[in-house]
Structure 1
Amino acid sequence: MVTATYRFRNRMTVRRTGRKLSLDHSEWVLFDEPPNKVSLSAGSEGESISEADTLIIGGREYSSFESAILAGRRWRQIMAVYFARVGFSVDLGDDREELCTPREVDRIDSRTQPGFTDETIIYWDRIGLYVLPIDPSAIFYYGQAYGQKWIMTGQAKRPLQAIARHNQNLWSDELKLAYELFHASLADANPETKFILAVTSIEALIPRQERIPEIVTVLNSLIDVVNRRRDEYGRETANSVKQLLHSDKSKSIRSIGLRLADRLSDTYDGLPPRAYFDHIYKIRSELAHGELRNIWRLSPDALNDQIRELNRFVLDILAAWTPEHSTPAPQIER
């Protein structure tokens, strides 16, 4: 029988956007099937999850460093999807293996903490994934949350279970970037950049080999030429040429976006997925490149009115991407 000796923990930042998590306990047990247990806790002692600016996702009883880091990466994905779905922006930091071993605090520093001795093991904490042995026990510099345990049951827990089932594989780099951009959009208070970042989350899914960077570079150079010679060409002609160049530059983005939209069956703002993608991509392009700030659909009020449906569409696109474009992970303990 293999002895389980490793655990993972990942401190994350909650970006406050005027909303509050309705979890008034210090710990939420997410998964508890022996030998493994995974929980979400407040980042500081005495805080509830709803009050905390940082949270910690932690899992225990893994038989090796490798199985613990795989489980940690998988639960990072689950948390990224869950918080995106409930409308909260979080920063999970990185999960690079070379940074997953915590660094011990110097003994001189440890003596400055009340109640600590020379035998106390203290690690520097960070936003990101750590993997370490369960024994000997250790303390992280920013502290850990202790308090009442709470197992969430019933309807409130079912969405998380569905997300866990849907995210069995490790994500591709494209999908990781897409969720990072989406969380940045959730945290942004400016309607224009919020909209642009949300749509750009879809663009992040475009495989690198289909982006044809050399062509994009040439088109960018031509756009610069048109900008410099605007007076010579005339404003109307220059704008028409720039529009055509931008159209060529984004043609591959649009075509792949439409292919992604074809995976969806719902309607969005009364439109089928392909038509809705064209609608939001046009707005995103106008916001990023255009000069049409005096029309209603680009006003802050109009953009704010569309954000909720846009977010639903983007999250459905990201969910549809997962099964075919993630890298299969080896069988791991949860």
Structure 2
Amino acid sequence: MIDKIKEHITEVEKFNADTKEAIETFRIKYLGKKGLLNEFFAEFKNVPNDQKKAFGQAINTLKLAANEKVNLLKETLDSQTEEVGKYGDLTRPGEAMALGSRHPISIVKNQIIEIFSRIGFNVSEGPEIEDDWHNFTALNLPEYHPARDMQDTFFIQTDPDILLRTHTSSVQVRYMENNKPPIRTISPGRVYRNEAISARSHCFFHQVEGLYIDKDVSFADLKQTLQIFTTELFGKSKIRLRPSYFPFTEPSAEVDVYWGLKTESDYKITKGTGWLEIGGCGMVDPNVLTNCGIDPEIYSGFAFGVGIDRIAMLLHQITDIRLLSENDVRFLDQFKSTL
């Protein structure tokens, strides 16, 4: 019987396993309630007295060997599982972290903000869901005014007085209502108009509108501000102002910058004239000042607006405005160098 126990000790010492199931089967075989150790202990009473000591020592040696083997195999398996499952191959070279990139809209917006901040303009923001007063009426566009048709508006169906803002001029109204002159602020943000989506237009886009209110503000101040802006952003100092109409400014003008005719692309985007329209501007209408609680007899001011999407397309040679909102990583990765 002792020789049989010694054979099992040798078997235990040689045993190896690489799965939890195999280790558990081994444990049950020797250490379970119906395992071999319990069978050997039950045989103890039948062993002659002169052999009991050697028999007991052999059983204890087998029990100790079985316990140590089970514990060792479990520790080894757990260590291997943690190393491979949690950390992977520790000898594999590390992977560089992929850097993100700023969106071209954000790049251009930040450039514009930085330019105007240098000449004293702060940044103001407002809600994209607006009411009729701030988006239209306060801006000299009362109900049924024909100029409202210039902007195809998204109205909230349950409340015709609530809409998606069609311009960031609504932010300027809110700013004038809550701040006293002198006022010098720009309002960047997303706006919405019910237009067909194509390579050149979208139902939402981005604007930056500027406002300057103070005593004795003139059209010459407006032109000089726009001159600084175009020179800083485009590197082109030649601009022109063409008479136009906007309900909230009088007089009003379109702003053109001389882009030049050096390349075929220049001919295409300027339609062969060399001049490129970038936005609108004008002197704030006295009615708008009155609606916002500012005395037009004391104060005057100018306002202007430019499209961020249009400028981004010009600066980065983007041919389709839809690329700016499709989240195509292949497109966005091109702007990593402009972080």
What TM-score bracket applies, with the shorter chain setting the length?
A: under 0.3
More strand by share: 2
Larger Rg: 2
Normalising by structure 1, report the TM-score: 0.22
Normalising by structure 2, report the TM-score: 0.22
Greater RCO (CA < 8 Å, at least 6 residues apart): 1
